[in-house]
Structure formats: structure tokens, C-alpha cells
Amino acid sequence: MSTEAGSGAVLDHLAALGVAYEVVECDPDFADTAQFCERYGYSMDASANAICVVGKSAERPMACCVVLASTRLDVNGVVRRRLGTRKASFADADETIARTGMMIGGVTPFGLPADIPVWIDSRVMDCTEVIVGGGSRDCKILCPPASLAELPTAEVVTDLAKAIPPAD
């Protein structure tokens, strides 16, 4: 999928939702969160990763989990239980594109297929605004967390992510 198609579908979805947002353009080579934050001056505490996770079962249920970049998604605990599977893992690049139409580094909760639930870590809701993927690697979406919560399949989940312990 081209970057134009990805971000266009996302912008159409945002317009249909009528939520507050701002498009932030970026160099696709710096779309990965840590590089993006460093290059463009955003805090990891105000940057949210949209991570596609799949259950390892015949049905391969998928969810899009939105967590602050300063935290770690609890894939083997909360996510696995919510998916209803014995094991869960991050969706690989091919499955992410096939199921969402978005490349890793550009995944956003906006514009996802209706069968993919969006689970938002409660810490995200404590932010004034967050920056998330824009549907392609050449842009991000800056919005208040309430815009994420307006998604029809969104659910705020306590402790979806864990704090990352400080480095020694």
C-alpha cells in the first residue's frame, strides 16, 4: 500500500469521526518511535505506539494495542488473556499489512478494519495529547487521548502495559 493510500484512509476516518487531530509530517526513515521522538522533539511519555498483536490459534485474533512509548505492552499477560488464546505475539510485518493495510512504523488505531478491537492503556488517557502513527510512515497524528477513545472498537484497559524499569 502506498503511503498516500494509508494516510488518506486514515484522514477520511478521522474526518468521519469528527475528532480533534493534527497531521505531523515526518521523514519515513525516522518513523520508528524512538527515532521520531529524538528527531522531532516529542517525549516518549507523550508518544503512543499502536501495536498489532495476534493470538496464536487457528483463528489468529488480532487487536491493536495503544501504549505509551515509555512503557512495555503486556503481551503474555493482559493481551493474551483478552485475546482468549494460550499464546500471543506481535504481528509480523506481512500480517500487519495484510490485515490492516498499514506498515509497521505507520500503524494507527484510526482507519482499522472494524473487526480489529483497539485497546488503549489507561496511562495514555492521562496525557494532554499523544502522537500516534498516521497510517503510513510519512506522517503521525497528534491528538488528545479522547480522540482515540471515540473509536467504535476502542476500550481503555488498566495495566495493558507495564512501566519499563530504569536502566542501571
**3-157 CATH, one of 3.90.960.10, 3.40.50.2300, 3.40.50.1100, 2.60.120.260:** 3.90.960.10
pTM of the predicted protein model: 0.93
At CB < 8 A and 24+ separation, what contacts does 39-48 make?
Answer: 42/131, 43/70, 44/68, 44/69, 44/70, 45/69, 45/70, 45/127, 46/127, 46/128, 46/129, 46/130, 46/131, 47/130, 47/131, 47/132, 48/124, 48/127, 48/130, 48/131, 48/132, 48/148
pLDDT in tens, the chain (168 residues): 333 434 688 999 999 999 999 999 999 999 999 999 999 999 999 999 999 999 998 889 999 999 999 999 999 999 999 999 999 999 999 999 999 999 998 999 999 999 999 999 999 999 999 999 999 999 999 999 999 999 999 999 999 999 887 766
Break the chain into its structural domains and give their ranges. Answer: 3-157
